[in-house]
Amino acid sequence: MIKAGIIGSTGYAGQELVRLLLGHKDAEIVWYGSRSYIDKKYAEVYQNMFELVDAKCLDDNMQELADKADVIFTATPQGLCASLVSEEILSKVKIIDLSADFRIKDVKIYEEWYKIEHKSPEFIQEAVYGLCEINREDIKKARLVANPGCYTTCSILTCYPLVKEGLIDPDTIIIDAKSGTSGAGRGAKLDNLFCEVNENMKAYGVATHRHTPEIEEQLGYAAGREIRLNFTPHLVPMNRGILATAYASLTRDVSYEEVKAVYDAYYGKEKFIRVLEKDVCPQTKWVEGSNYVDVNFKIDPRTGRIIMMGALDNLVKGAAGQAVQNMNLMFGEKESEGLELVPMFP
């Protein structure tokens, strides 16, 4: 059995990790970490876990946890994992960090966009960006994985094949993305109150959202050079889901069949990426509660541009599901173990 510890188990992503790991045949949760609920029964924090989890919440003592677990998930705000990790800890246990602490390779860019000092920059180059469908082989050998976020996973996977094949000019990419409110976390915030969110839709972080450099960096690897793009997120009144619509200029005339063949070449054998049939647009409802990403595209010959679309569940493939997928790769498990989740409807 893989012994797993979760630091930040009472946030939305942490609770989703608990839900998924409880259904994993080869994993056992040995630590339910939560600084806010120390000594409180986990099932009192999340009543859906009544008679499923008997454990009490513990603190975020990574040093102690490293002696008890095989893998540590850190579902915490930016800065915490970087402040706790050390060479001694990494010599004992693998870490999958759901924050952004190790996603961006240039520490100056991280500090500029996140407005905090990085506490362990010596591990940034070692950390593997945990986008399984792209970095699978590196993840298998990693001891520290930077689990991508929901916006970035959806945006990168939607655009990646066409950037990699040079069919679009990556500097012309504009990404318009929408997220459900769970993406903002469980903390009490004025902007997330029911009356603020319900019957409302708004853009935020316009030209300043901190996922922008992460998307640029990863698509830049695909392009083979640095790129610049526009990313604008929106908050919509739903619990779960990410929908990304990306626009870019084509580098030459292409047919539907040619573009479809590119997507199929990259994703045709991927368990969790579904390339939809012609003219079928991705919807968040069709992936809710699952680890799937649905993608598709539409060529606009009138403007010489292409519209790329993707949808995923921000708490599953956009966070906890991807983290479990990474764990499976790191420990030689079947990649889909614990993630055979049929999307929920309605």
Contacts for 195-200 with beta carbons within 8 Å, 24 or more apart? 197/235, 197/237, 198/237, 199/237, 200/237
pTM of the model: 0.96
113-144, pLDDT tens digit by residue?
Answer: 999 999 999 999 999 999 999 999 999 999 99
Per-residue pLDDT reduced to its tens digit, 290-328: 999 999 999 999 999 999 999 999 999 999 999 999 999
Span 174-196, pLDDT tens digits:
999 999 999 988 887 898 899 99
Residue 222 confidence (pLDDT) above 90: yes
Q: Which residues contact 121 (CB under 8 A, 6 or more apart)?
A: 107
* Mean per-residue pLDDT of the chain: 97
Report the candidate in 87, 123, 131, 117 with the shortest Cα–Cα distance to residue 102.
123
Is 57 tagged catalytic? no
Kindly report the backbone phi and psi dihedral angles of residue 179, in degrees, each rounded to the nearest multiple of 5, phi listed first: -135, 145
Token reading at 259: 């573009």
Q: What is the DSSP letter of 168?
A: B
Return the CATH number of 151-314, one of 3.30.930.10, 3.40.430.10, 3.30.360.10, 3.50.50.60: 3.30.360.10
Q: Mutual orientation of helices 150-164 and 212-223 as an angle, nearest 10°? A: 20
Q: Which of 57, 81, 132, 150 is catalytic?
A: 150
Determine phi and psi for 129, rounding to 5 degrees. -70, 115
> Residue ranges of the domains in the chain?
2-126, 151-314
Strand order in the sheet with 27-33: 27-33, 2-7, 71-74, 94-97, 144-146, 128-129
Beta strands 128-129 and 174-179 are unpaired
Q: Tell the CATH topology of 2-126.
A: Rossmann fold (3.40.50)
How far is residue 169's CA from residue 167's CA, in Å, rounded to a whole number?
7
> Running DSSP on this structure, what letter comes out for residue 277?
P
